[in-house]
A and B are shown apart, each in its own frame.
Chain A
Amino acid sequence: MSIEIKDLSYVYSPGTPYASTALKSVSITINEGDFLGIIGKTGSGKSTFIQHLNALIKLQSGSIKVYDIDLTQKKPDLKKLRGTVGMVMQYPEYQLFDETVEKDVSYGPKNLGLSEEEIKGRVREAITLVGLSYDEIKDRSPFELSGGQKRRVAIAGVIAMRPRVLILDEPTAGLDPRGKKEILTLIKKLKETSSPTVIIISHDMDAVAENCDKVAFFSGGEILAEGAPRDLFYDDDLLARTEMEAPAIVKLTKALENRGVTLDSHPINKQEFVQAVKRWRDE
Chain B
Amino acid sequence: MNNIVFGQYYPTGSVVHRMDPRIKLLAVILYIVTVFFIKDYTMYGAILVFVLGVSCVAKIPLKVLLRTVRTIIFLVLITSIINLFFTRGGKLLVKWGVIKIYSEGIHHAVKLTLRLILLMLFPSLLTLTTTPMELTDAMESLMKPLKVIKVPVHAIALIMSIALRMIPILMEETNKIMLAQKARGADFDSGGVLKKAKAMIPVLVPLFVGAFRRADELALAMDARCYSSVAKRTKYKVMHLSVRDLVGGLICLAVFTVVFLNKYLWAFDSMILALFK
Name the B residues within 8 Å of A112 (CB-CB).
Answer: 185
Q: Is B42 an interface residue (CB 8 A)?
A: no
Please give the distance in Å from B99's CB to the nearest CB on chain A: 44
Q: Which of A88-96, A230-238, A245-253 contacts B (4 or more CB under 8 A)?
A: A88-96
Q: Is B11 an interface residue (CB 8 A)?
A: yes
Contact A97 B183 (CB under 8 A): no
- Total A-B pairs in contact (CB under 8 Å)? 65
Contact A161 B185 (CB under 8 A): yes
Please give the distance in Å from A265's CB to the nearest CB on chain B: 40
**CA separation between A98 and B176, bound complex, in Å?**
18
Contact A89 B205 (CB under 8 A): no
Please give the distance in Å from B21's CB to the nearest CB on chain A: 19
Interface of B (DSSP majority class):
helix
Q: Is A40 an interface residue (CB 8 A)?
A: no
Name the A residues within 8 Å of B205 (CB-CB).
Answer: 97-98
Q: Mark A64-79, 1 if CB is under 8 A from B, else 0.
A: 0000000000000001
How many B residues face the partner with a CB closer than 8 A?
23
Q: Is A157 an interface residue (CB 8 A)?
A: yes
Within 8 A of B (CB), among A6-33: 12-13, 17-18, 20
Name the B residues within 8 Å of A161 (CB-CB).
Answer: 184-185
- A89-B176 contact, Cβ under 8 Å, with A18-B4, A54-B183, A111-B186: yes
Identify which of A54, A94, A110 contacts B206 (C-beta below 8 A): A94
Q: Is A149 an interface residue (CB 8 A)?
A: no
Q: Is B270 an interface residue (CB 8 A)?
A: no
Name the A residues within 8 Å of B45 (CB-CB).
Answer: none
Contact A87 B183 (CB under 8 A): yes
**CA separation between A82 and B201, bound complex, in Å?**
20
- A158-B11 contact, Cβ under 8 Å, with A94-B177, A95-B206, A97-B201: no
Q: Mark B7-47, 1 if CB is under 8 A from A, else 0.
A: 00011100000000000000000000000000000000000
Closest partner residue, chain A, to B187 (CB atom): A111
Q: Is B182 an interface residue (CB 8 A)?
A: yes
Name the 4 nearest CB pairs between A and B, nearest first.
A111-B185, A97-B205, A87-B183, A108-B184
